[in-house]
Amino acid sequence: MAAQIWYEDDADLSVLDGKKVAIVGYGSQGHAHALNLRDSGVDVVIGLRPTSKSVEYAKEQGLEVKSVADAVKDADIIMFLAPDQYQSEIYSKDVEPNMKPDAALAFAHGFNIRYGYIKPGPGHMTFMVAPKGPGHMVRREYMAGRGVPAVVACENDEKGNGWEITLAYAKALGALRAGAIKTTFKEETETDLFGEQDVLMGGVNHLVETGFEVLVDAGYQPEIAYFEVCHELKMIVDLMNEGGLNKDRWSCSDTAQYGDFTSTVIDENTRKNMEYQLKRIQDGSFAKEFMDDQAKGGPHFKELQKKYSHERIETVGPKLRAMFSWLKDESADADEKDSFNGDIARTQVQE
């Protein structure tokens, strides 16, 4: 069955006329959603702690800023863009007691709805618009007249107008310029966590570090090892992004292709480990482990952050990256600054 995809002509932006949207959080995604919606003519207010440094950052962009409790009081749509681990507390303390009886709840990731950390009551339509890109890219592409694709979902739609609102929000964000794919909170959450744990982060990061260690321990120069297992990764990913695995393989040498086809690094044991990780995501045990640790202040999480911030590959990484002049051009600097500021702002929302 083909995926259902919506584009610009499938949504009516006027659905949001007269509606106020409260953006809870002003981090990487928060600033992009707020600014894009504002520039699309939507009435936006930002919900932050009064003492957050992000307050001034948002005001500098010409946005209205209030406490979370005050921001949601008059909001018709409340978009949660704070980190997953804080959303349930924000909801129970500041949102649920203050929101309108028919306010819609919106998310850019389904974690808290999928695992029941937030349980919307009757009358609160719940939808998701999840851009498939970081906030600075969502903002940059919008300003360039383009958009970042998104996945969208809608649940608890008692009035029957949930999809109209969902698609109008996606259009205001700029996502429908590229296309939005219909999904569910369950599908988006489980596939997103799986991708992070087994391929994008838990897969690639560990594969690169292990490959680096194997070469260095075998006596090869760390600098040469870095080039082969880390630096060239971007080239391969760019080729995949442009034309999938076929272009990736076609663009490389016959020797590289043959090595790809005959490699035994990824085997049935890898598949079994992935299936195990997927099961933990599906049955909620991963979510519980993460949230239980966060409820204690994240001691295990912090321990892991410290452990993996001192990987051997970073003994040579900074020196070699300084050789890449293209990383220092104005465009890269602007994107990095935007992303960095967004990440800092996202953290400050919760401090």
CA distances from 226 to 184, 210, 230, 275, 332 (A): 40, 11, 5, 30, 22
Average pLDDT over residues 68-81: 97
Please report the domains of the chain, with CATH numbers, ordered by start residue: 5-183 (3.40.50.720), 195-330 (no CATH)
Instruction: Work out the percent of the chain whose per-residue pLDDT is above 90.
Output: 82
Cα dihedral 116, 195, 339, 92 in deg (nearest 10): 0
Strand ranges for the chain from DSSP E: 5-6, 20-24, 43-47, 64-66, 77-80, 104-107, 126-131, 150-155, 180-182
pLDDT digits over 83-102, tens only? 999 999 999 999 999 999 99
The mean pLDDT of the chain is 91
Average pLDDT over residues 309-338: 71
Q: What is the pLDDT of residue 329?
A: 63
Q: Which residues are annotated as a binding site for substrate?
A: 253
Indicate if the pLDDT at residue 113 is higher than 90: yes
First to last CA, the chain: 45
pLDDT digits over 9-28, tens only? 999 999 999 999 999 999 98
Q: Which residues are annotated as a binding site for NADP(+)?
A: 26-29, 49, 52, 54, 135
Rounded Cα–Cα distance for residues 144 and 133 (Å): 15
Q: What is the pLDDT of residue 311?
A: 76
Q: What is the pLDDT of residue 54?
A: 87
Q: Which amino acid is at 113?
A: I
Q: Which residues are annotated as a binding site for Mg(2+)?
A: 192, 196, 228, 232
Of these residues, 31, 33, 109, 124, which one is catalytic? 109
Is 136 an active-site residue? no
In this structure, is the dihedral angle defined by the CA atoms of residues 95, 96, 97 and 102, taken in order, positive or negative?
positive
Residue 298 CB contacts under 8 Å (≥ 6 apart), including other chains: 85
pTM above 0.75, yes or no: yes
In this structure, is the dihedral angle defined by the CA atoms of residues 162, 168, 170 and 172, taken in order, positive or negative?
negative
For residue 56, how many other CB atoms are within 10 A of its CB? 9
pLDDT digits over 249-289, tens only? 999 999 999 999 999 999 999 999 999 999 999 999 999 99
